[in-house]
Amino acid sequence: MNNELILKNLRNVPDFPQKGIQFKDVSTLFKNNECIEELRHELLSLYADKGITKVVGIESRGFVMGAILAADLGAGFVMARKPGKLPAETLKATYMKEYGPDVIEIHKDAINEEDVVLIHDDLLATGGSMQAVCELCKAFNPKKIYANFLIELKIEGLNGRKVLSEYDVTSLLTID
């Protein structure tokens, strides 16, 4: 992957959403077509031969590349959203983020036992949101669950990858 292109277009926002957090803003990647194409190509090369039938995007930045990847793979796209955003019956999970608790939901009819699921999000830090969505997807008893991130933070104390040790996890870019 062209790490230089991605790093050059990734915005760092200090003290967001609270003091002490160095937020990695991927929205600047999405406004650059070269970055989108680079990410698209890398994601497709990782998952083209895995038999993915559903891509689950985690709200909200996971929706962008997750939906693009689902289309490229010929798979369905499922949204994992904050409470009250999905119109039909849902399953929900509560988890801890770096800066406090949160809740995520998925429709009860989103996945079935025949599915091979790829859960996609923008960033791996503590792994809380991905772990919660993995557990929600696991409740559907799919054939396999993969987890993917655009960026993985390898900063002392975050330990996101350890939290997800039972899943097949990939990241396109690692930042120390």
Q: Catalytic residues, which ones? A: 61, 98
- For 156, the 3-state DSSP assignment is coil
Residue 12 has, within 13 A of its CA and on its CB side, a CA count of: 8
- CA dist 56 and 76 (Å) reads 9
The CA R_g of the chain, rounded to the nearest whole Å, is: 15
Residue whose C-alpha is closest to residue 149's, from 175, 124, 174: 124
Please tell me the total number of residues recorded for the chain in this structure. Answer: 176
